Every structure is written in C-alpha cells, then in structure tokens.
Amino acid sequence: MNLVLREALQGVRHTGIAGVISVATIGASLLALGFLWQVIESGNALANRLRARVEIDIYLKDGVSSQRILALRRRLEARPEVGGIAYMDQEAAAKEFRSRFGLGTVDALSSNPLPASLRVRISPGENMPRRARSVARSVASHSAVEGVNVGEVWVDSLEHFIEVTTRIGLALGCMLCFACAYAVSHATKLMVLAQRDALEIMRLVGATNTTVWMIFGVGGALQGFVGGFLAPLMMAYISPWWAVRVPDLTVTPTIELAFGLVVLGTVLGAIGSWASLNRMLREIA
C-alpha cells in the first residue's frame, strides 16, 4: 500500500500541471457545490422564518363595539389556518403607516383617517398564500369588516425561488460532479499517456493489473481527496469576508458538509480515474 501510494504520488507529480488543474477543478467544483448547498439551506431557513410572518389585515368599520370585535376574533380563532391575532387601534395604525411610508404623507393630514384592524398571522405550513386568501374571503362580508388586505405574501415567490434554486442546484451539482470526474479522468489519461512506455514495461516485468490499477487509480482518488479538502477550507476562509456582505446567507461549512465534500471528491476522483484507466489499459495493452 505504502508503495502504491508512493508511485501514485510520483504519478501525480509526473502529470504536472494536469494534476494541479485537476485538483483545482475538483476544488472549485466542490466549492461551488458547497456554496449552492449553503444557499439552498439558508434559503430554506429564511423561508421558514418568513412563514411565521404571513399576515392579513382586517380593517374594522368605525365605531364597531368591542363585543362584536371579540365575536369576530373568536370566529377567526376557530379556523385552523389562523396562527395568532393582534388588535391594532387607529393610533397604532398611524404609527405604523408613518414608519412604513415616510414622514411627509400622514403628518400632512388634518385628522387620523386610518381604521383600526385585526392582524391575523397565518399558521406556518404548506401553501400559505392560499390559506391566507381563504381566511380573508371568510370574513370579507362580515358586518364589522370595512375591508381586508392580504398584503404582499412574498413567501410565495421566495418558495418559488428556492424551488428553482434547488433544481438548478441539482442540475449544476450533477454537472459539477461530472466536471470533477472528468478532470481526474483527463489527468489520469495524461498520466497514462505520459507513462505509456513505463506501462508497457510494467506489464512485461510482471506487474499485476491490480498494481497498475492502483498506481494510476489511487492517484485519481488522491487528487479528489485533496480537491475535496480544499473546498470547505476555502469556504471557511471566505466566510468572514462574506458574512459582512451577505449576512443573511452564511457560507461557513458545517462539519458534515466539509466531510461530505471530502468524501465526494475522493469518490469522484476514484470513479474518474477508473473510467479513464479502463479504456486506456484496453487501448494500450
């Protein structure tokens, strides 16, 4: 084993820049893969946080009695879609309006024209926008209700975004894995080509196929291992710099991710060199 590793290392050294490029390709590919993973993970986390905040505003008519409001509240609380209800009087409405739309507008008004409202939080789960709309519809014709604002339920588009990202991620991930395997198989091929004479002599002096395979194949796994090692290292290195700029999306790799990338790199390296070797050995021998 010791011998094979040594010859493999020497073989990798012999490939020169091809080996370096191969390792760099693997490193870059796995880095991209790790990033993608983190984007999707962070996106999901963000979506979960937003899901806890999908709300509708039910504007109340002027001068509705607190008993009728309470009845409305009860009725809302009975629905499974409702996660929580908060009452917002005219004062609070004005305050919020001011903070959301700038100073000028409301202060320019003579009296507070904003109605009191019930703010209903939709319980988290699947398809929240649809459920929000169904709650809105159920109270729209209630006699105490002036109007309903379903608001910008943009968790929808976020979810859509995550879905698209995941799909792109999967496709890109496959491509990147392929790139890794390809880079190694290419490096292996060059290694074999550059050592074509050596390979012939190996066979003539009685090296077993296993030995030949190991000498060239272990090199591939080795490249994959190094590349797989570089990826989380680089992520960790980038992450403080990144955190300042894009705080919502952490790229610090978890131990699991780091380990996964190393294993993935090694496996892809082995597969790549195996594929190339199989063909090359058949061609040459």
Partner 1 sequence: MQLYIMPVIKLQNVRVEQRGQPILLNVNTEINQGEFVYLTGHTEAKKRALFRLIIFEDLPSSGVVSVGEYDSQQIRKTDIPQLRRQVGVVFQDFKLLHHRTVSENVAFALEVTGVSRRRIKRKTQAILSDVDLLHKRNAYPDDLSAYERLRVAIARALVNDPLVLLADEPAAHLDSEATEQVMAIFQKINVRGITVIIATHDTAIEDRYSRRILQLENEVIEQIAN
Choosing from 54, 190, 199, 268, the residue that interacts with a copy of itself (CB under 8 A) is 190
Tell me how far apart the alpha carbons of residues 16 and 230 are, in angstroms, rounded to a whole number: 18
119 three-class SS:
strand
56: β partners:
120
| Residues 214-243 as x/- pattern, contact with partner 1 by CB under 8 A | -x----------------------------
Residue 129's CB is within 10 A of a number of other CB atoms, namely 17
Tell me how far apart the alpha carbons of residues 59 and 119 are, in angstroms, rounded to a whole number: 9
Choosing from 2, 66, 67, 110, the residue that interacts with a copy of itself (CB under 8 A) is 110
Q: Is there binding between residue 10 and a copy of itself (CB under 8 A)?
A: no
**8 A C-beta contact, residue 190 and residue 18:** yes
Q: Is there binding between residue 119 and a copy of itself (CB under 8 A)?
A: no
- 77 or 200: CB nearest partner 1: 200
Q: Is there binding between residue 204 and partner 1 (CB under 8 A)?
A: yes
Q: Is there binding between residue 198 and partner 1 (CB under 8 A)?
A: yes
Pairing of strands 145-149, 117-122: unpaired
148 three-class SS:
strand
Q: Is there binding between residue 283 and partner 1 (CB under 8 A)?
A: no
For residue 205, the partner it binds in a copy of itself, partner 1, none, with Cβ less than 5 to 8 A by kind, is partner 1
For residue 203, the partner it binds in partner 1, a copy of itself, none, with Cβ less than 5 to 8 A by kind, is partner 1
What residues from 199 to 258 belong to the interface with a copy of itself (CB under 8 A)? Answer: none
Q: Is there binding between residue 3 and partner 1 (CB under 8 A)?
A: yes
129 three-class SS:
helix
Q: Is there binding between residue 17 and partner 1 (CB under 8 A)?
A: no
- What are the φ and ψ backbone dihedral angles of 203, each rounded to 5 degrees? -65, -35
